[in-house]
Amino acid sequence: MVVKIKGKVFVFGDNVNTDEIIPARYLNTSDPQELAKYCMEDARPGFGRRDDIKGSIIVAGENFGCGSSREHAPVAIKAAGISCVIAKSFARIFFRNAINIGLPIVELKEADEFEEGDVAEVDLENGVVRNLTKGKEYRIRPYPEFLMKIMEAGGWLEYCLKEVGE
């Protein structure tokens, strides 16, 4: 079960919208690996093609994922190898889409205390976020058991198929 997530931090600001996460010009495919190449392209050109983002954590400000309701945005993030997104707040539809595809996301009001390159650890089950670089610890709302099962399955559809199959 996905309980603790640890990774290098990449910092983004407030109001990162879905067009910055995965620009519309790349939506001629729904292939996750192709979308991953252009993850965060309009916020940070070339980000999705970096070698050092696998297993990393995006930390952002307010209203992350605002804009359209396209599910491609969290799909691109997850397929790029980002293990978790921490933000001060999320757009509602992005929050929902992220959970549906099995991308762990965490709201943390102190997200702005992280800096690019810090190492973060997220404990979803116990509700703890740590900045291992700065030695700081923050309390978050733990994921309830059903959300942990969705994450473990890899998303809502996979969870439902597993539950129906049992």
Domain 2-163: homologous superfamily in CATH: Aconitase, domain 4 (3.20.19.10)
Nearest C-alpha neighbor of 79 from the set 139, 135, 140, 34: 34
Chain centre distance of CA 27: 19
Q: Model's pTM, two decimal places?
A: 0.95
pLDDT at 166: 61
pLDDT at 62: 98
Q: What is the pLDDT of residues 97-128, one digit of tens each?
A: 999 999 999 999 999 999 999 999 999 999 99
Q: How far apart are CA 89 and CA 81, in angstroms?
A: 21
Other C-beta atoms lying within 10 Å of the C-beta of residue 134:
13
Q: Domain ranges for the chain, please list them.
A: 2-163
pLDDT at 70: 85
Nearest C-alpha neighbor of 67 from the set 27, 104, 108, 36: 27
pLDDT at 1: 52
How does 51-63 read in b/e, with b if 16+ C-beta sit within 10 Å? eebeebbbbbbbb
pLDDT at 163: 83
Task: List, for the chain, all residue ranges whose pLDDT scores fall below the cut of 50.
Answer: none
